[in-house]
Amino acid sequence: MRILLERFPGARLRVLIACDRLWETGDWSDPRVDVISVASWTRALLNEALRVREPVIVVQFAPWPLEDRWRQQIFKTPLPPRSRALHAGLAALFALRPRIVCRHLGDLL
């Protein structure tokens, strides 16, 4: 999070995180970061879709098992059907917002 705050000094960040992973945000204490605990991802994503024109960054891990995440395999292998459906759904949901989908924050910087 520190990386994004330094990179975009005027931004306010809304971070949506699953309830069971909320403990990971315990040491965040910046007034520009709003951490929102999510119990229902469907409801949370629908609410976020209504925030027209605000940029969104979706950070998710590659859909392959950890031992298969090497560069050549990722470039040569098409996304699994479930991942393609997820990407298409996010693109439709956030159609009115600038969006970036990446594997980790390092891809942005």
pLDDT digits (tens, 9 = 90+) for 4-24: 788 888 888 888 888 887 887
Given a cut of 60, whether residue 89 has pLDDT beyond it is: yes
d(CA 23, CA 8): 25
d(CA 88, CA 86): 5
At residue 104, the pLDDT reads 62
- Encode pLDDT of 37-73 as tens digits: 888 888 888 888 888 777 887 776 555 555 555 655 6
